[in-house]
Amino acid sequence: MLRVTEQMTAAVLYGKEDLQIETVDVPTIGAGDVLVRVRAALTCGTDVKVFKRGYHARMIVPPALFGHELAGDIVALGKNVTLGKNARGFKIGDRVMAANSAPCGVCFYCQRHQENLCQDLLFNNGAYAEYIRIPERIVQRNLHILDDHIGYQDAALAEPLACVLRGLEESNLRPGDTIAIIGLGPIGMMFVRLAKAMYGARVIALGRRKAQLERATRMGADEVILNSDKADVVSEVKRLTGGRGADVVVEAVGLPELWQLATHIIRRGGVVNFFGGCATGTEVRLDTQLLHYSEITCKASFHHTPELIKKALEAVGRGYVTAKDFVNGVEPLTNLLEVMQHLMSHNGHLKTAIIP
């Protein structure tokens, strides 16, 4: 077991584009906590936004340890975990994936199976470090032992994948439906892959770059559309769907103009999921006549639940999503600042695995 006086290298976010790689104390764990040696931490679009803005209203307030997609090895257990009081059976040496949050289980929303909206949703950050403390509530609800055939980078994909699974479930996608996905970054690509592999949907992928469209085709997209400034995307989607529009549309970018576009390529009676979160204070103008007389359902999916994390790990275990499809680089922790700066100026790029 590590002594809590030992130190480690970690990324600390101080504010807008102010990220420092520092030597800090290894986290002290409480009676119900677990200490994990991070083996892989993946970059994420949310982390890039947090780096750019300097904060996240719900997830992280600087100065703070940074990063939330991870997998690693248990190296220390709190005394209650050692005694088995949480009945999860964890032991030192277990390969694990830890989600970045856990709901309280008792509030209004948790009692209504909306744990992602928990009034006391506990977030955990610090994946870009040699070690991370997993707090007791996450140990009890959202820490998972990995099957032997699942690699660390594959396992770390489970957190964003769980968010995508919620988006698909909330959109009521059914086998044989046509889904249009706007935005082909890592999240959009996960929508493409799962809509095809798990639902058997017909997938239309809309992206800004030809390389993204080629990747979407490899992921399983049936048709791809280049969403250039001069393209008539609405007419093209209508052409591909017999004039109706898609059954489900997912906006996976977070731009007002793309939220608007989504409502124009959906069929009457279809479901639009505004999955991509726009910047704080953003307002979007929507055609109320179109929404009303076409009976369009507008939804917005946020975050994940413990049950969806389990489903995501099952999807990873079955090979629906693998690191080789979504991770296109490996960098040491000392290069994280450069990686974030690169991702900030190259929107839509895939993930980088940070190896502390």
Question: Could you give the domains of the chain?
Answer: 7-161+304-355 (3.90.180.10), 172-299 (3.40.50.720)
User: In the structure, what pLDDT confidence band is assigned to residue 2 with cuts at 50, 70 and 90?
Assistant: very low
Residue partners of 321: CB distance under 8 A and separation at least 6: 154, 157, 161, 190, 193, 194, 315
**pLDDT at residue 306 above 90?**
yes
Q: According to the model, what pLDDT value does residue 156 have?
A: 98
More confident residue, 345 or 328: 328
Stretch 301-321: mean pLDDT? 97
Structure-token pair, residue 38: 């991070």
**pLDDT at residue 100 above 60?**
yes
**pLDDT at residue 344 above 80?**
yes
Please give the mean pLDDT across all residues of the chain: 94
* Size of the chain in residues: 356
From 75-84, 158-167, 320-329, the region with the lowest mean pLDDT = 75-84
Residue with tokens 């101080």: 14
Q: Output phi, psi for 29, to 5 deg.
A: -100, 145
**pLDDT at residue 86 above 60?**
no
The Cα 356–Cα 38 span in angstroms is: 7
**pLDDT at residue 87 above 70?**
no
Q: According to the model, what pLDDT value does residue 347 have?
A: 65
Stretch 164-177: mean pLDDT? 97
